[in-house]
Structure 1
């Protein structure tokens, strides 16, 4: 079964340098019902403000990972310049199963 991962920064020093990060792997089985729920939530995002939509995306990604982390941990653990792209890639994974080549290679290392 396909898996994906997300890496969140958990500690930064006073100079803004990463001191620690944690890797989370998707569950081995993601029920189709999660995709349906995520699709329903994300469809409703179009009617909401950009910030409300972002909050919904955070919740969807947390749910995808069976709430191994909270939306707050997700917000604080993503590097701002990459955050939206990372969230979109996670949502794309649940809807298409697509995992980037870079993530596939890193996942092989993680799962050893």
Structure 2
């Protein structure tokens, strides 16, 4: 079975506010990685993972690289603006790093594996 990952982005209404279910909890769209992720993704993620790109770029440029990488990993099922507007800020950087780590090493924590197993 192919290794896969997922990302959840909060649903937003036309005004940009989080969409809520009947209990008042945020609703999410869940995206799965493609069945085949080209090895080129690992190659491209290498500099992001070891921090080599950090030295000459601003923090925002490094963040842009991570956002672009995650959009590419998921085959452009969503946009960079979707990530910027629909990820929860306190968790966003860790989520982006986890997505890139998954591509670089195939690593995923046990809780995430359980959630993924329920989806597929």
For normalisation by structure 2, the TM-score amounts to 0.82
> Whose strand fraction is larger, Structure 1's or Structure 2's?
1
Q: Is 1:68 the counterpart of 2:77 in the alignment?
A: yes
Residue ranges of structure 2 left out of the alignment (5+ in a row): 13-17
Question: Per the alignment, in what secondary structure is the counterpart of residue 98 of structure 1?
Answer: coil
**Inter-partner Cα distance in structure 2 for 1:19 and 1:96:** 31
Aligned residues between the structures: 108
CA contact (8 A) 1:5 1:26 kept: yes
Partner of 1:26: 33
CA contact (8 A) 1:46 1:53 kept: no
Question: Per the alignment, in what secondary structure is the counterpart of residue 34 of structure 2?
Answer: coil
Offset, 1:18: 4.9
Residue ranges of structure 1 left out of the alignment (5+ in a row): none
**Inter-partner Cα distance in structure 1 for 2:93 and 2:61:** 14
CA contact (8 A) 2:19 2:27 kept: no
Offset, 1:109: 0.9
Alignment CA distance shift 1:62-1:18 (3 Å): farther
Moved over 2 A (4+): 17-20, 37-40, 42-46
CA contact (8 A) 2:45 2:69 kept: yes
Q: Is 1:106 the counterpart of 2:107 in the alignment?
A: no
**Inter-partner Cα distance in structure 2 for 1:108 and 1:46:** 38
